[in-house]
Structure 1
Amino acid sequence: MDRNRYELGLYEKAMPNNLTWKEKLELTRKSGFDYLEMSVDESDEKLARLDWTQKERDHIKETMIETGVPIRSMCLSAHRKYPLGSREEAIRKRSLEIMEKAIDLAYDLGIRIIQLAGYDVYYETGDETTRKLFEKNLKKSVEMAARKGVVLGFETMETPFMDTVEKA
C-alpha cells in the first residue's frame, strides 16, 4: 500500500501523560505518524482543555507550527460521564455545553474531526427514551459543528446501541 496516499495519526493516550505538548508532537513525528489525536475525556484535567484561554490555544498552535505536526482530530469521550441521551436534564445540558466547547476548541486549533463514543448513555441503562434524547441532542451537535466546519464521527462501542458500523 502506498503510504503517501493517506495519513496516520497517533492517539495522545498512547504516550505518557507527563509529556509536554511539544514533546508529544515531536514524539508523534519521530514515531512516523503525521498528526496527533487529542483526547478530551471525562477527567477534570482533560475537560479543562475546553476552557483554555486564547493565549493557551495560541501556544498550542505555535507548538504545532514549530514541530511541523498538527493536531487533526479529537477523541471526545467526556460524554461517557455527561451523555447526550441522559434522562437527567442537567446532564444533557452539560453534554451540549461540552460539545459546544469541544467544537470551538477544534475550530480554534484547526482540528478537522471530533470522534464521539457511540453511546446514548454509559453509566445509565439505555432504552428508547435515552436513544431519542441522544438523537435529539446529536442533531443539535451536528448543527453546531456544521457552523464551524468541523466533522463529527462515531467510534463503534461494545454496547448494542452502536456496536457496528451499520448502526453508526
Structure 2
Amino acid sequence: MSFTSTENKHLLGVYEKAINNKFAWKDKIAIAKQASFDFIELSIDESDARLQRLDWSDTEINQLHNELQAQTFCLNSMCLSAHRRFPLGSKNKTTVQQGLTIFEKACVLARKLGIRIIQLAAYDVYYEPHDTETERNFITNMRKVAELAQKYAVTIAFEVMDTPFAGTIVRCLNLIKRIGKANILLYPDIGNLSQFSTAVFDEIALGQDKIVGFHFKDTLPKQFKEVPFGTGTAQFEAALKAIHQYVPTVPILIEMWSKNDPAESTVQNVAQLKQAKQFYEQQWDLALKRVK
C-alpha cells in the first residue's frame, strides 16, 4: 500500500441525505465516490425508517460493509439526530430510557461498520419546553452516554446546534465542563455557529483541542436547513481561516439535502454534489488568499 502526502489535506465527506434516498447503498457509495468525496456520514434520524437501522441484522450490516470494501470507501461518522424525538433531558423517564437505548445501539452499529465518530445532537429537549429541570436531566444522562461511549470505544462529539441551548462552541464547552466527562468532543456546524456567534474565528480557536470535525453548510437567521450555498450568511471565510490555523487536518463534511426526486438519475445526483464541492473549494480559495 502506498500513501501520498496528506499534510494539511482534509478528508471531505458528504451527508447521506445529500444523496437521493431512492438509491441503494451500492449506488450511494458510487455517487459519493464519483463526486470525489472521501466518506459518507450515515444518518440515524428520528424517523422510524432510519431508527430501524439500529436493529439491522449482522447479515444486513455485512452486506453494507462488504459494499464499502468493494468500492474502497467508508462511513467515517454517524449523525445521530434521533434524540430530537427521544431527548436525554426529557421529564418522561421512558423517553430518556429510549434515548439511552438508541445511543447504545448506535455504538454497537458504529463498531460493526467501522464508524469512528458519533455526532450527537446537543438538545436537552426539542419538542418539549426547555427549563432548568430538562437541562439538569440532560447533564445527568450525558454522563451515562459518555460512559457507554467509553465501554464501546467510540468517539462522541456534540454538534453545535440550531437552537440557543448549544448554538456556539462556548456553550458546548460549558456543557461538557458541567457533564465532567473528558471524552465528549466537538463537531461544529459552521452554518449553525454563524447564526449564534459573531466571533466564529475566536470560537474555533477556543475549541481547537476538542474539535474532531466540521459540518459545512449555509444558513440564514432562523433557517438552518436547505439554504442553497452562497445564498445564506454563514461566515465561511472566518471559519476556514480558523480551521486552517488551528485544526488544519480535521475531516469536513458538506451537509446538504436531496429533494429525493423519483426521476433523478445517478448522473444528476453526482452533478449536484460536484457543484457543492466546487463552492466549498471556492470558499477555501477566498479564505486562504486573504490569509496571505
Task: Tell me the TM-score normalised to structure 2 length.
Answer: 0.56
- The runs of 4+ residues in structure 1 deviating greater than 4 Å are none
In structure 1, C-alpha distance between the alignment counterparts of 2:146 and 2:161, rounded to whole Å = 20
CA deviation after TM superposition for structure 1 residue 4, in Å: 6.3
Alignment of 1:12-161 (within 5 A): 12-161=16-165
In structure 2, C-alpha distance between the alignment counterparts of 1:132 and 1:107, rounded to whole Å = 30
Task: Tell me the TM-score normalised to structure 1 length.
Answer: 0.96
**Unpaired segments ≥5 residues, structure 1:** none
Deviations 1:42-71 (A, max 9, x none): 101100000000111111110110111101
In structure 2, C-alpha distance between the alignment counterparts of 1:22 and 1:4, rounded to whole Å = 30
Name the larger-Rg structure. 2
Q: How many residues align?
A: 167
In structure 1, C-alpha distance between the alignment counterparts of 2:29 and 2:145, rounded to whole Å = 29
Give identity over the alignment, percent: 44
Task: Kindly provide the amino acid, as one letter, of the partner of residue 72 in structure 2.
Answer: G
In structure 1, C-alpha distance between the alignment counterparts of 2:109 and 2:47, rounded to whole Å = 17
Q: What's the C-alpha RMSD, in Å, of the aligned pairs?
A: 1.2
Which residue does the alignment assign to 2:188?
none
Task: Kindly provide the amino acid, as one letter, of the partner of residue 150 in structure 2.
Answer: A
Task: Kindly provide the amino acid, as one letter, of the partner of residue 55 in structure 1.
Answer: T
Q: Is the 8 A contact 1:13 1:39 kept in 2?
A: yes
Q: Is the 8 A contact 1:28 1:69 kept in 2?
A: no
Deviations 1:15-58 (A, max 9, x none): 11111111111111111110110000010110000000011111
**Unpaired segments ≥5 residues, structure 2:** 1-5, 173-292
In structure 2, C-alpha distance between the alignment counterparts of 1:86 and 1:18, rounded to whole Å = 34
CA deviation after TM superposition for structure 1 residue 3, in Å: 7.9
Could you tell which deviates more after superposition, 145-154 or 76-85? 145-154
